[in-house]
Amino acid sequence: MSGSENQASKTDKGRPEPDSPGLIIAGLLVEDEVLGPEDLAYAQRVQEKLTSDDGLTAVIRELNLATQDQITASLRKHRPKIRLGDLLLELGLVTPSDLRTALAFQQQFPEKKLGEVLIETHILTERDLIEVLSIQLGFRNMEAELHDIDPKIFRKIKPEWMKKRGLVPIRETDEGVLVAFVDPLESEQIAFVTRELGSNIVVGIARWLEMEAAIERMAMAVQPQTTVTGDENEIVALVNWLLAQAAQDGVSDIHVEPSKDKLRVRFRQDGVLVPFREYPIEIATPLMSRIKVLAGADIAERRRHQDGRMMVVHGGRELDLRVSFYVTIHGEKAVLRLLNTGNMMLDIKEIGMSPRMGTRFKEDVLDVPGGVVIVTGPTGSGKTTTLYGAVGYLNNVNTSIITAEDPVEYVIDGISQCSINTKINITYEETLRHIVRQDPDVIVIGEIRDRFSADTAIQAALTGHKVLTTFHTEDSIGGLLRLLNMNIEAFLISSTVVSVLAQRLVRRLCQHCSEDHDLTPDELRRLGYNPAEIKSPPRFKRAVGCERCSHRGYRGRVAIFELLVLNEPVKDALISRKTSHEIRRISTETTGLVTLLEDGITKAARGEISFEEIIRKLPRLSKPRPYHELRRLQGEVG
């Protein structure tokens, strides 16, 4: 897409040029006998009289001379040679002034493609753009294929060229070689690929972000990496490669561990440790030294445990890693934890709450000015992610947010984050003592770990602050009881705690291979149902395994939630020291609480998680309600 001036489809007088996109599209409609020649003439007369900038296609649609479906069908059938900007304008997806802004911007940055510019200037989202190209013009969306690139095909074009020209060759099929393009309307690039590959190509599209990531991943992967000799440059490249692989795959930890005769690298992915590569033991020492240099640890020290921190830039993203070196009988083992991998879901909308729960969490919990909000669950249940999501939601120029974290796991612009560091005497207690004096509106206490931090949270809430914090308990009611057990007065808890959100992370079924699974009476019983009472049990899915999920049957993770928003009956139950069973019953009956088990059942019925994961991960403290009732409670129906 070149930034030329005749992108706009009208002349000064408002009359379409003979080869304007509007006329090209109208011509196709006439050819397909959707539109008669007299209809076209009529639409043109109407358009001339219009004061608006509506394109001919929009006028045809508004006059009901053709439906959007008919227009789309003709576009898909003929795929006319219209430039992206003209097409978007003609379809009414951008305004002429938007397009002028974008083209002016493009003149300053000629290397950028129009699609990119439209996205960067927030005129269109990348998703909209892909939708236009795939739905309107029928270009195949190849994002899923980007995860399955054939190295043989990939090697035929230099990665730098792919980046410059905005394309990625994927693999050979019966119809030709699949190639994803940023802008599939650029005939010059299509000609280039056809020439380089010397075969038919199938033109597809994908988001540039995904394509760029795929290019980097493949560029690294096609380099031979198993015959490392220990040469310094090679070691540097190997460490970079390992970090890049881990970042791309959404790995949370990298384990580099020596044994008697080899060095093993394993990745923790979706909570499970999986073997990645093995290397000759000879490279252990230079490899460890390189990691130490990056992490700011002592290279000369090889007989004591150490830790460090490193920041590396990969794919335009800053990776923050915490590194721990541990001395074993076979030498040092390093574990690198990636603190801000793609697993971080920073938008509260994306943490996976059901529609109704998501609305309540925002309106009844986060939007309420003061009070304590507790996120609870075991280690690795995604509490920090939810906490950051909430902070992201509350973060604006009129709000002062301050944190005490051990350590800061994700840096958010616009808030004051403090990382606990006992080495230099920044202790948790010391930090919490100072935090309130900073005139904050929102205080984030990384974790309530003792009576002191609990008191700090309660005191801050009593003086009108909003406090977000985490806790280690099984479920939401457990969070309240735990505070009682810390000898905090029940009336203080009931007057400050707004909400307790319990959560778990469970493995997400691979959507490519999971198969239907009808629950057996025994399985229903294990969920807490009485099989005799359930007329039509929900249908679940089960894990199978395929190429795309490395035959694990699972890909990624899903968060399961239990949101308790305290109301008067629950507060009364707390003050009168009712049993946990009673408090749970009252919460379920009066607050609209959906238990972890119930949220799990709802997500399993949607095919996201399996029966096995429910049994493995979710507490079954009370009988779940029937599925149709759960759907209503979760806001999925009615």
- List residues near Zn ion by CB under 5 A: 510, 512-513, 546, 548-549
Cα Rg of the chain, angstroms: 29
Q: How far is the CB of 253 from Zn ion (least distance, A)?
A: 23
Q: How many CB atoms lie within 10 A of CB 316?
A: 9
Closest separation in Å from C-beta 543 to Zn ion: 8
C-beta of 472 vs 548, nearer to Zn ion: 548
| Closer of 180 and 513 to Zn ion (Cβ) | 513
Residue 559 main-chain phi, psi, to 5 deg: -90, 140
CB of 144 to Zn ion, least distance (A): 12
Burial of 379 (0-12, 13-18, 19+ CB in 10 A): exposed
* Residue among 84, 624, 631, 79 nearest 355 (CA): 631
Q: Which is nearer to Zn ion, 146 or 513 (CB)?
A: 513
User: Which of 156-166 are b and which e, b meaning 16 or more Cβ less than 10 Å from the residue's Cβ?
Assistant: ebebeebbebb
Pairing of strands 176-181, 167-173: antiparallel
**Backbone phi, psi, residue 540, to 5°:** -100, 180
Q: Where are the beta strands (DSSP E) in 143-242?
A: 167-173, 176-181, 201-205
User: 140-141 and 201-205 as β-strands: parallel, antiparallel, unpaired?
Assistant: parallel
User: Which single residue brings its beta carbon nearest to Zn ion?
Assistant: 510
- CA angle (214 as vertex; 210, 218 as ends), nearest 5: 175
Q: How far, in whole angstroms, is CA 265 from its chain's centroid?
A: 26
The residue among 79 and 548 lying less far from Zn ion, judged by its C-beta, is 548
The Cα 353–Cα 367 span in angstroms is 17
Toward Zn ion, which CB reaches closer, 529 or 554? Answer: 554
For residues 322 and 512, which CB has a smaller minimum distance to Zn ion in the complex? 512
**Least CB distance from residue 507 to Zn ion, whole Å?**
12
- Taking the complex as a whole, how short is the minimal distance between the CB of residue 269 and Zn ion, in angstroms? 14
Q: Which of 75, 513 has the CB closer to Zn ion?
A: 513
Q: How far apart are CB 613 and Zn ion at their closest, in Å?
A: 15
Supply the minimum distance, in Å, between the C-beta of residue 627 and Zn ion: 26
Q: How far apart are CA 282 and CA 549, in angstroms?
A: 33
Tell me the DSSP string of 65-125: SS-HHHHHHHHHHH-----HHHHHHHTTSS-HHHHHHHHHHHHHSTTS-HHHHHHHTTSS-
By CB neighbour count within 10 A (0-12 exposed, 13-18 middle, 19+ buried), where does 518 fall?
Answer: exposed
Q: For residue 606, with 0-12 CB atoms within 10 Å meaning exposed, 13-18 middle and 19 or more buried, which class applies? A: middle
Cβ proximity to Zn ion: between 147 and 512 the closer is: 512
Q: What angle do CA 36, 132, 64 make, to 5 degrees?
A: 30
Contact 161, 155 (CB under 8 A): no
The residue among 517, 514, 616, 618 whose CA lies nearest residue 560 is 618
For residues 315 and 220, the answer to whether their CB atoms sit within 8 Å is no
Q: Which is nearer to Zn ion, 513 or 524 (CB)?
A: 513
* Shortest Å distance, C-beta 299 to Zn ion: 43
Pick between residue 512 and residue 631 the one whose CB is nearest to Zn ion: 512
CA distances from 321 to 248, 343, 387 (A): 14, 14, 20
Q: Shortest distance, CB of residue 518 to Zn ion, whole angstroms? A: 20
**Cβ closer to Zn ion: 372 or 549?**
549
Quote the least distance from Cβ 549 to Zn ion, whole Å.
Answer: 3
Residue closer to Zn ion (CB basis): 188 or 516: 516
d(Cα 629, Cα 459) in Å, to the nearest integer? 39
Q: Which is nearer to Zn ion, 32 or 143 (CB)?
A: 143
Which residues lie below 8 Å from residue 590, measured CB to CB, with a gap of 6+? 567, 569, 570
Output the smallest distance, CB 512 to Zn ion, in A: 5
Residue 386 C-beta: closest distance to Zn ion, Å: 27
Task: Kindly state the smallest distance separating residue 542's Cβ from Zn ion, in Å.
Answer: 12
Residue whose CB is less far from Zn ion, 10 or 542? 542
Q: In degrees, to the nearest 5, what angle opens at C-alpha 170 toward C-alphas 169 and 175?
A: 95
CA dist 527 → 519, 581, 601, 602, 608 (Å): 10, 18, 9, 12, 17
Shortest distance (Å) from residue 511 CB to Zn ion: 8
Select from 425, 388, 440, 392 the least CA-distant residue to 410: 388
Nearer to Zn ion, 362 or 548 (CB): 548
Measured from the CB of residue 196, what is the shortest distance to Zn ion in angstroms?
Answer: 32
- The side-by-side arrangement of strands in the sheet containing 331-338 is 272-280, 262-269, 253-258, 331-338, 317-328, 306-314
